[in-house]
Structure 1
Amino acid sequence: MKNIKSLVTFLVLITSLFSFSQQKPQAQKVKVTGKVIEKSTNQPLEYASVYAQNTKNPSAVSGGMTDAKGEFSFEVPAGVYYIKIEFLGFKTVEFKDKAIDSNTNLGVIAVVEDSKQLDEVVIVAEKAAVEIKLDKKVYNVGKDMTVKGGTASDVLDNVPSVSVDVDGNVSLRGNENVKILIDGKPSGMIGVNVAQALKQLPADAIEKVEVITNPSSRYEAEGGAGIVNIVLKKGKNQGINGSVTGTVGYPENYNLTGNFNFRGENFNFFTNLGYNNSTSPGNYLRNSEYTTPSPGSPTYIEETRENDRERRGKNNNFGLEWYLTKSLSWTNSVGFSKNEGGNPEDVNYYNYDANRELMYIRNRYNDQTNENDNLNFSSNITKNFKKEGHKLTADFSVSGNHDNDISIIKETIVGSSAAPEITGTINFQKQNRTLAQTDYVLPIGKGQFEAGYKGDFSDMLTDYKVEEDIDPAVGPGSGIVNEDLTNKLNYKEKINAVYSQYGRKIGKFSYLAGLRFEDSNIDINLLTTNEFNNKKYNNLFPSLFLTYELGGKSSVSVNYSKRINRPRGRLINPFSSYSSDIAYFKGNPDLDPSMTNAFDIGYMKQWDKLTLTTSVYLNHTENSFQFVQRESGKYAVTVVDGTDIVDPNTGEIIVIGGPDIRIPVIETTPINLATEYRGGFEFTLNYTPYKWWKLNGNFNFFRNETQGDYTYVNYLGETVVQDFNNIAFTWFTRVTSRVTLPYAIEWQTNVTYNAPQENAQGKSLGVASANLAFSKDVLKDKGTVTLNVNDLFNSRKRIFDSNLPSAITHTEMQGRERQINLSFTYRFNKKKTDKDRQPKNAGEGEDFIGG
C-alpha cells in the first residue's frame, strides 16, 4: 500500500558468508536486482514488494522490498523462479519461469495504476503512520475529515504523539520543548508567536506532518522533545490541476482555500491561496482562596472570562520550479499573509468575604484588536550528479513579520457610581529572519555520506506598554505609563552550524552516525532599563541510529541524540500580556538554554491487518525550564473609600469605607530548574479488521521527575524556599475510527484522553474530548462534501489546581468552544487518488535507508 510505508523489508533470504577456511558452500547463490517506477510519472516506487518462488521447490520463497530509490536486491539459490512485483493500487507485474543461473538484473520495471483498486486505496490510506524511516515518522493528514475548514493546530492535534493545548501550545510525547518547522525550515510565519501562527495556517494547505522524536545530526539541534515538520502542498502532476475547498461553520467560520498546479516540460508552477473569516468563543474560570488576605480584602475571588477571538485573514504562497537542465533545478517561492481581528474579553471578579458573602463585583472589559503581516521569500538550487543519490543543494530565505496588538481595558465596580478606570496596552512585535543552508549527499558503495552548513540569523523587537487613566476618545498614548509593566525588548540570534554524518546498511543491520557543531551568539537587550546581555556558547551534538531487521516484517532500533532548547519569545519577555490584573505571566530574560540527552529504543511489527510501532524513551535534561507560581510582591488595588455600591442581593445602596482593597498579584514565570528526567513508553497501532473499517490508536505513558528547589521573597518580605523535587506519572491516548457506511459515506471519529498529572505546585486534571466527521464523494468523485464537529461534547479544556502559601486556586481554560463545519471540495484535472509528487524540501535532506 502506497501510504502505509515501513522501514523493513520482509521475506529477505538469509545470506551465506564465505568462510576463510575455504569451505565450499552448500548451494550456489546469485543476486537478483532491479528497479520499480511508476509509469505515469517515472518516479521511483518505494516499498513495492518483490516475491520470488522456486518453481521446483515451492517452499523456497525469497524476495524483498524496494528502497527510496525504487531499487531492490536479494539473493536466491540458482534455479527457475516465478517472480512478481506488487503494490496496492497498481497492476501486478509477473515473470514466469524466469531462469536465475547467475547474478541477474531485471532492469527498470514500470507499473501502472489499477483503476479497480483505487477505491480501496482511498479507504486504507487515510490517517496512518505512512512512513517509518530510520530517523523520522511521516503521517499523511491531507484527507483527515475532522480538520476540514480548520487550522494547522487542528491538524497537529490529530497526529499521533502530538498534542495541542487550549492555548495552542504544541507538545510531543507530553513535552513542549518541540521545534516547529514548515517545509523543513524555520519560517518567519511562526517566528513571533508559534501558537497564533498555527491558528492562521489553513489545514487544507497541509500535505503531511513529519514527526521526528529523535532527530539526526542533519537537523538543527533545537527542540529537546524533537521536531514537528509541516509540509505544505506542492502538486507536480502534469498540466493544470488543483482543488478548491469552501467551508461554512458555527460559530462563525467562513473559509476558502485553493491549491493549483501547472506542470510544463521544463517548469512547475504551484500556488496555495486561502481566506478565512471566523469567530471562536472561549472561556476561563479561576477560583482563588487567599490564606492571609489584607484587612477588608476578599478571602475568595471567582474570576470568569468570556472572549470571542475574531480573525479575518489571507494566506498566499506562489512558487516556480525551473528545470534548467536534466540535473539542475531552481525553485523560488514567495508567501505573504495578512490577518486582522480582535479578542474582546469580558471579565468579572466576584469578591467574597471569609463567610462567602458577596462583597462586590468588579468588571473588566478588554477590547483587543490585532494586525499581523508576514512576508517570506525562499530559493533552492538542486544539482543532481551522474551517480544516483549524489546531489548538492543550496537554500536561501528571508522573512519579515509584524504583529501589533492594541487593547483598551475598562474597569468598573458593578452598581458603583464611581467613574470607570481605563487602561490601555500596546504590543508591537516585529521580526526579520535570514537563513542560508547547503547540503551535500554522496553515496559510497552501500553507504551514504552527508555534510552541510546552516546559518540562521534573526532580529526580533517587542515594544510593550501599559498606560493608565487614558482618554477613551484618544486611546493608548494619552495616559500615564505604568513603568512596572512596560518594557522594550530586542532579541538578536546568530547561529552557525556544520554537520556530517555517514550511514550504511550491512545485511539486516543499518547504522547512521553523525556529529553537529552549533555556535550561538545571542543578545537579549532590555532597552527600557538599559540592561544588555550577550550570551555566547558553542556545542557539539552527536547522534547515532542503529536498526536491525528481525525478519517477518519486524525490526528493532536504538537511537541517541543530543538536543538544545534556547529560550526566546514569551519565555524571556518580562511582560507581553495584561489579560488579568491579579494573575499574569512574566518572562525571564536571564534564562539559560537547556540541554537534553535523548535515548530511544523502538520496535515495529507488521501483520496482514495490523501494524505496531512502539518505543521506550528517556530524556535527561539539564537546566530544564519549569513554570513557577509565586506572589509577585505587587497588589491589585481597588479604591472603594466612600463609594456608593448597589448591593447585588437587595438592590440597596451601601457605602463602603475603610482601607482600599489590596489583592496580591500571582505571577507565573519560567526558571532553570536543575535536572529533569522524562521517560516513557509509547505505541501506535494501525488495524484494518475489515475493508470498510480502519482503526488507529496511539498511547503514551511517561514518568517525569524534577530535581531542584527555588527561593524567592514573598510580598511580606519573607524568604520562601520551594522544594521542586517531584515525581509524576501520566498518560494520554488517542483513537481514530474510520468506517465506510452504505452509499459510500465515510464516518470518522477521534477520541482523546489526557490523564491527570501532578507537579510540585499542584495538579492538572484529566480531560476527554471527541471529534466527529462524515464525508461523501459526489460529482463522479470530483467533489467531496464533509460535515465535521470538533470538540463534540464541548469538553476540551485545560483544568488545573495550584497550592501556594498565600493562595489556593482552581483554573479552567477553554480556548475554543465546540465548532461545526460544512465543507465542499472540488478537484479539477485531478483524481482523488492522485499522488502529488513533490521536490525534496531543502531543509529535509535525504534519508539513508541502506543500499
Structure 2
Amino acid sequence: MKRIILLLAIFCSVLSAHAQLGGGGSTITGKISGTVVDSITKKPLDYATVSVFHTKGKAPMNGVLTDEKGSFKLNNLPPGKYKIVVSYIGYPSKTIDPVETTLSKPDNNMGTVILAPSAKTLAQVNVVGDKALIENKIDKIVYNAEKDLTATGGNATDVLRKVPLVAVDINGGVSVRGDANVKVLINGKPSGAMSNNLGDVLKSFPADQIKSIEVITSPSAKYDAEGTGGIINIVTKSKNISGVSGAISGGMGTRQNNGNASLNIKQNRLSVTGNFGGNYTWPQITPTSRYSYDDSLNVTNTQTSSNKIFRYAYTGSGELSYDFNNYNAIHSSIRFNQGGFKTDGSTDYRTITSTTDSKYSSTNNSKTVFGGFDWILDYTHKFKKEGHQIVFSGQWSHSQTDLNYGTKFSSVASNQDATNGGRNNEYTAQVDYTLPINDKVKYEAGGKTISRIISSASDVFVNSVYSPNRSNVYDYNQYVTAGYSVFTFTLPKAWSLQTGVRAENTKIDGNSANTTLGLIPFNNSYFTFVPSFAVSKTVKGTQTYKLSYSKRIQRPSLQFLNPFVNQSNPQSVSYGNPTLAPEVAQTVELNYSTFIGTSVINASVYYKHTKDLIENNTFSTATVTPGGTTYYTTATYNNIGKNNSVGVSFFGSVTPIKPLTFRTSINVYTYNGMAYPQYAYLQSSTDTKVQYNIFGNGTLTLPGGFNAETFAILNSPTRTIQGQNPSFGFIGFGLRKDIMKKKASIGINTLSPFKNAIDFDQEIRSKHLVQTSHTAFPFRSVGLTFSYNFGKVTIKQDNPMAPKKTGLNDDLKQGDQNGGGQGGGGGR
C-alpha cells in the first residue's frame, strides 16, 4: 500500500513539476542511471525506489523501481542539478546531492549506489519478497517455491513437477531434460537417504519447508563429477531476520494430509532454527495387470493384482550458526527423515505352455521402512581481502532401508517370507578455497574424500524354514578422492569465461558372505578426468549468450548394487548388480536468455553423449526342478550401451497485465540408445525417438487478497534400449486467500479433477520377449490448505560470514527411473 501511495505522489509531483517548468528553453533531455546494491552482500536490490528531486526541492519530480539486477534509469531530465533519494524496506534512505547533467553531458551514470541495512525493529511482521516465481540466473534456473500458490499442503514431488526442465514420473522418478541420473541436494549438501530412496524421500519432504529449487544443467568442475543429468538443489526456508519467528502450515485432502512447523531464533551472532513436518496418505487401492510372452520358450505368463497401499513419512532439521568475529564462523546442521509404506493385496497368476495351463493365486503383504540422518559441520575463515576465504566441511550421512514381505500361495508349496536390510554410512571431509586475484580474475580450488560403507543383509524363509542358500550378507565399500581447480575471468565488453578441471580416483570392493550364490569377491579402481568450460556474453544488459561444455559421471547407488534376489513375485524375479561401472556423459550446450520488461525467455540447444548406460534389463528364465519347470522373467541392471541425444529446451514468462502471468517450459530431445554387442538381443528398436516434457502455468492476483493458479503437465513416453515407460500428464487448480494482514492464508487445491486415476502403461521388448503392464494410480485429490506466520523480528541481510553451502557428495545414480520388470505387485 505504501508503494502505491508513493507512486501516486510521484505522479502528482510530476504534473506539478511539469507545470512549474513551463515551456521554452532547451529541448535537450538526458537521463540519470545507476545500480543499487547491498553494502554487505554486494548483491543487487530489486524493487528499490529511486526518486529524483530538484537539488533543494522537497517534492519528487519523478521516480522508478530498480529491476532484478538493481539497475535504474531516470529518463527525460533537462540539464540541471538534482537530488537522488534511494529507499528500500529495511534500509535507511540514501540521498545523493547534487547529481548534475549538462548540455554537453546530458547523461549521468552514477555507477554503484550502496545501501547499508537498518537495525530497525518491527513487531509482528511478515517479510515477503518480490521475487518472481522463476528466475533465470547465469549458472542456474531458480524456481521460488514459496511463491507457488499450490505448494502448501503438498510435498517436494508436487513442487518438482512444475520446475522448468524437470520431469517427475508417476513413481516419483526425477529427470532433467530426459536424463534420470540427477543428484538432488538439500541446501547444497547431499543426503544419504536421497541416494537410496529418492522417490520415497521426496514424497516425505513437505513442500512448506521449501524456499526454492535450483536446476544446474552444466555444473563446473567445482561440483562433484557425478550426476549426468545435472544437479537439483532444494533450498529450505530460513528466516533472514533477528529475533524469534516461526510458521505453521499444512493441508488436509482426499489423497494426503500434511503438516509443518518451524521456529527461528537469531540473536546477535547466534542463529538457531528448527523445522518438523510430516504427511500421511490415505489408503489407496491400485490395480495392476501384466502380460509376458516368450516365443523361444512358447510361454505366456499373466497376472492381475489389487493392492491397498498405506504411506506415511516425517522429516525434521535443526541448524546452529555462530560468528566468532568478522573472520571466523561455524555452522552445523542435522536433518533426519523417517517413512514407510505398507502393502496388502492379492494376485491371480496364469502360466500357459505348449503342454500345460496352470492357475494359482496368492495373498501378499510387504512393509518398507526407510530413514536416516545427515550431520554437517562447516568452519569458514575469511581473510581481509573481500571474497578471500577457506571453508572446511565434514559430513556424516547414515541411511537405511528395511524390506519385509510375505507371499502365501493357494496351490504352490513354496510360501515365502523374507527380510532385507540395507545400510549406508558415508563419511566426507572437504576443503574449498576462494581467492579473488583481482576484480577480473577469481580462483577456486579444493579437495575431498568420501568413504561409503554399504551393507545388505537378507534372510529368506521358504514354507517357514530358513533358506541358507538364498540368504546372504553383502558388503560393498567405495572410496573417492577428488581435487579441483577453477578460474573465472571477467573480460572486457561484457564477456565472461570460466574454465576448470577436476580429477577423481575411485576404489571399490565387494564381498559376499554366502559363497554358494556365485557372487565372486572383487575390487576395482578407476580414474576420472573431468574438464569444464563456459563462456558468456551479455548484450545491452538484458541478453546473455552462453556456451558450455561439461563432463559428468554417475556411480550406481545401493538400489542398483544390492544383490538381494527379490522372489516375492514368482513370475518376475529381480536383483541388483554389484559389478556396475559408472555412466559417463559429455554435454555441449548453447544457451540464450533475455528479459524484456516483465517477460523472461530462456532457450538452449544441447548435445549429449553417454556411454555405459545403466538400465534395467529383463529376460526370460526357465528353471528345471524335480517338481517341474518354472518359467519367469528376471530383471537386473547392466551397463547396457550408449546414447547420443540432441535437445532443445525453452521456458518463458510473460505478464500481459500486472495481475496476470503466464509461464511455460518445453523440452524436446532425442533418444538413440545402442546396446553393446553382448546385449544386442535385448534391443527393441534402433530408431531415433523424439521425447518431450511440457509444463504450462497461469497465475492471477485478484482484489481482496485472493490469488488463483492453474497448471498443466504433459510428459511423453520415455524410451529405453529395451522398451518404453508411459506418458504422464495431469492438470491442477488452486485458490488462496490472504488474511490477518497477510500473516496467514487459507486455500483450496485440486489435482486431476476430471480423472480419478492416471494410467501407467509400460512395454518391454527384446528378440524373444514381449512384456506389458498396466497400472491405474489413484491421483485425483481435493484439499484445504492453511499457513500462519508469527514472530517479533528485526530485518537483517544475509550474514556474510555464514559458510557457503557448497555441494558435497552429489554423485550417486539414484532410484530406478525405468521400473522395468520389478516384481511385488502394485505401484508405489
The reply to whether TM is greater than 0.5 is yes
The CA deviation at 1:216 is 0.4
Equivalent residue number for residue 434 of structure 1: 427
The CA deviation at 1:568 is 2.5
Give the whole-Å Cα distance in 1 for the aligned partners of 2:184 and 2:269.
33
Equivalent residue number for residue 278 of structure 1: 281
Give the whole-Å Cα distance in 2 for the aligned partners of 1:743 and 1:54.
34
The CA deviation at 1:229 is 1.3
Change (3 A) 1:80 1:705: farther
Please give the per-residue CA displacement for 1:77-120, whole angstroms capped at 9, x wherever unaligned.
xx96869688998999775761379997765335899xxxxx9x
Give the whole-Å Cα distance in 2 for the aligned partners of 1:693 and 1:605.
20
Correspondence 1:509 to 2:495: yes
Please give the per-residue CA displacement for 1:359-393, whole angstroms capped at 9, x wherever unaligned.
77533322222333423321111222222222221
- Contact 1:711/1:721 (8 A) holds in 2: no
Correspondence 1:628 to 2:611: no
TM-score by length of 1: 0.79
The CA deviation at 1:775 is 1.4
Give the whole-Å Cα distance in 1 for the aligned partners of 2:667 and 2:459.
42
- Contact 2:684/2:723 (8 A) holds in 1: no
Give the whole-Å Cα distance in 1 for the aligned partners of 2:85 and 2:142.
24
The CA deviation at 1:764 is 3.8
Q: What is the one-letter code of the residue matched to 1:178?
A: V
- Give the match's secondary structure for 1:191: helix
Give the whole-Å Cα distance in 2 for the aligned partners of 1:785 and 1:327.
44
The CA deviation at 1:736 is 1.5
TM-score by length of 2: 0.81
- Contact 1:135/1:545 (8 A) holds in 2: no
The CA deviation at 1:412 is 2.0
Equivalent residue number for residue 843 of structure 1: 806
Q: Which residue among 506, 518, 530 is the counterpart of 2:504?
A: 518
Change (3 A) 1:218 1:752: same
Structure-to-structure mapping, 1:244-263, within 5 angstroms: 244-251=248-255, 253-263=256-266
Change (3 A) 1:436 1:171: same
Equivalent residue number for residue 446 of structure 2: 452
Please give the per-residue CA displacement for 1:585-607, whole angstroms capped at 9, x wherever unaligned.
33222221121111110001211
Please give the per-residue CA displacement for 1:803-844, whole angstroms capped at 9, x wherever unaligned.
344443322345663333322111002799999889454315
The CA deviation at 1:765 is 4.2
Equivalent residue number for residue 416 of structure 2: 423
- Contact 1:710/1:723 (8 A) holds in 2: no
Change (3 A) 1:618 1:47: farther
Give the whole-Å Cα distance in 2 for the aligned partners of 1:87 and 1:224.
45
- Give the match's secondary structure for 1:329: strand
Change (3 A) 1:85 1:307: farther
Q: Which residue among 434, 439, 457 is the counterpart of 1:463?
A: 457
Which segment drifts farther, 141-150 or 88-97? Answer: 88-97
Q: What is the one-letter code of the residue matched to 1:137?
A: I
Structure-to-structure mapping, 1:773-788, within 5 angstroms: 773-788=734-749
The CA deviation at 1:768 is 2.2
Equivalent residue number for residue 129 of structure 1: 134
The CA deviation at 1:346 is 3.1
Q: Which residue among 476, 479, 482 is the counterpart of 1:497?
A: 482
- Contact 1:509/1:546 (8 A) holds in 2: yes
Equivalent residue number for residue 801 of structure 1: 763
Q: What is the one-letter code of the residue matched to 2:605?
A: V
Give the whole-Å Cα distance in 1 for the aligned partners of 2:696 and 2:795.
25
Please give the per-residue CA displacement for 1:638-665, whole angstroms capped at 9, x wherever unaligned.
x9xxxxxxxxxxxxxxxxxxx96x5621
Q: What is the one-letter code of the residue matched to 2:527?
A: N
- Contact 2:407/2:568 (8 A) holds in 1: no
Which segment drifts farther, 770-779 or 98-107? Answer: 98-107
Change (3 A) 1:774 1:541: same
Structure-to-structure mapping, 1:735-746, within 5 angstroms: 735-746=696-707
Structure-to-structure mapping, 1:603-618, within 5 angstroms: 603-618=592-607
Structure-to-structure mapping, 1:679-694, within 5 angstroms: 679-694=646-661
Correspondence 1:218 to 2:228: no
- Give the match's secondary structure for 2:326: coil
- Contact 1:129/1:138 (8 A) holds in 2: yes
- Give the match's secondary structure for 1:842: coil
Change (3 A) 1:801 1:67: closer
Change (3 A) 1:794 1:129: same
- Give the match's secondary structure for 2:203: helix
Give the whole-Å Cα distance in 2 for the aligned partners of 1:576 and 1:94.
73
- Contact 1:48/1:85 (8 A) holds in 2: no
Correspondence 1:331 to 2:325: no
Change (3 A) 1:528 1:724: farther
Give the whole-Å Cα distance in 2 for the aligned partners of 1:805 and 1:776.
58
Which segment drifts farther, 761-770 or 194-203? Answer: 761-770
Give the whole-Å Cα distance in 2 for the aligned partners of 1:161 and 1:672.
26
Equivalent residue number for residue 849 of structure 1: none
The CA deviation at 1:689 is 1.7
Equivalent residue number for residue 473 of structure 1: none
Give the whole-Å Cα distance in 1 for the aligned partners of 2:580 and 2:669.
26
The CA deviation at 1:674 is 3.7
Please give the per-residue CA displacement for 1:434-486, whole angstroms capped at 9, x wherever unaligned.
1111111111232211111122221111123332112xxxxxxx443563xx4
Structure-to-structure mapping, 1:65-80, within 5 angstroms: none
Give the whole-Å Cα distance in 1 for the aligned partners of 2:675 and 2:668.
24
Correspondence 1:559 to 2:557: no
Change (3 A) 1:759 1:698: same
- Contact 2:683/2:766 (8 A) holds in 1: no
Q: Which residue among 171, 183, 195 is the counterpart of 2:199?
A: 195
The CA deviation at 1:192 is 2.8
* Bigger RCO of structures 1 and 2 (CA < 8 A, at least 6 apart): 2
Structure-to-structure mapping, 1:587-606, within 5 angstroms: 587-606=576-595
Structure-to-structure mapping, 1:349-748, within 5 angstroms: 349=349, 362-412=360-410, 421-443=414-436, 444-470=438-464, 478-481=465-468, 483=470, 486-505=471-490, 506-529=492-515, 531-551=520-540, 553-575=542-564, 577-634=566-623, 664-711=631-678, 722=683, 725-748=686-709
Identity of aligned residues (%): 24
Which segment drifts farther, 490-499 or 790-799? Answer: 790-799
Change (3 A) 1:371 1:844: closer
Please give the per-residue CA displacement for 1:324-379, whole angstroms capped at 9, x wherever unaligned.
10222111222333335523343333667999xx9775333222223334233211
Q: What is the one-letter code of the residue matched to 1:327?
A: Y
Which segment drifts farther, 679-688 or 618-627? Answer: 618-627
Change (3 A) 1:578 1:232: farther
Q: What is the one-letter code of the residue matched to 1:513?
A: T
Change (3 A) 1:292 1:500: closer
Q: What is the one-letter code of the residue matched to 1:309?
A: F
- Give the match's secondary structure for 2:199: helix
Give the whole-Å Cα distance in 2 for the aligned partners of 1:237 and 1:304.
53
Equivalent residue number for residue 645 of structure 1: none
Change (3 A) 1:158 1:687: same
- Contact 1:487/1:574 (8 A) holds in 2: no
Change (3 A) 1:531 1:135: same
Aligned residues: 752
Give the whole-Å Cα distance in 2 for the aligned partners of 1:548 and 1:51.
28
Change (3 A) 1:833 1:361: farther
Which segment drifts farther, 151-160 or 727-736? Answer: 151-160
Change (3 A) 1:508 1:800: same
- Contact 1:740/1:746 (8 A) holds in 2: yes
- Contact 2:674/2:683 (8 A) holds in 1: no
- Give the match's secondary structure for 1:695: strand
Q: What's the Cα RMSD here?
A: 4.2
